[in-house]
Amino acid sequence: MKFFVDTAEIDAIAELNDLGMVDGVTTNPSLIKKSGRDIIEVTKEICDLVDGPVSAEVTAVDADTMIAEGRKLVEIAENIAVKVPLTWDGLKACKALSDDGHMVNVTLCFSANQALLAAKAGATFISPFIGRLDDINLDGMDLIADIRTIYDNYGFDTQILAASIRSANHVLESARIGADVMTAPPAVIKSMINHPLTDKGLATFLEDIKAADIKIL
């Protein structure tokens, strides 16, 4: 499974990237706003930092302007994936940009039918939002499973990018089902290392090291 980090904070990306935990980055207008940076400036810096796809989202809602914005965004770097919403205009933009040879991430997916349309339109990535479905008492993992089945049935190349991930369990379940990619905030990725038995075992080792006065250096 590929790990994308969902942030526009350069220091957080760099820390995880140094550990080999970053296969790509996803951003959106809310994350850009939180960073306090100019969208072109911060996106360029992220693209220079990581080798994998960096999703940069359009701000328009009509197809023609989305296409124009997408074509401007891809000038930032070769690893830009243009992020468009899952609307008819978004799909029109997806088709045009993918026909141009650009990566496209179709976002705000909440149904398998939507994911099927995005694949037909040539999406590189489809971003089903797990957490937001959970928020309305629907199981986001059911959507990941349905999309996986449909894409496998027909050999679509579109990669399932599990998004709106809120916990380490979301990562685990997405991996079990077979999502190609997951994107999560840095804090969620870091939380994957946590286990009380690891903490307990380490505490025991440290006590024994101290008692035995064990030294290596």
Query: Where does the chain have alpha helices with state H?
Result: 10-18, 29-35, 39-49, 63-73, 88-99, 112-120, 130-135, 140-154, 168-177, 186-191, 196-212
Spot the catalytic one: 34, 83, 190, 215: 83
CA atoms within a 13 Å half-sphere pointing along the CA-CB vector of 175: 11
Q: Are 118 and 158 in contact (CB under 8 A)?
A: yes
- Tell me the C-alpha distance between 22 and 124, whole Å: 18
Residue 215 falls in the annotated catalytic set: no
Q: Amino acid letter at 107?
A: T
Q: Are 76 and 49 in contact (CB under 8 A)?
A: no
Active-site residue set: 83
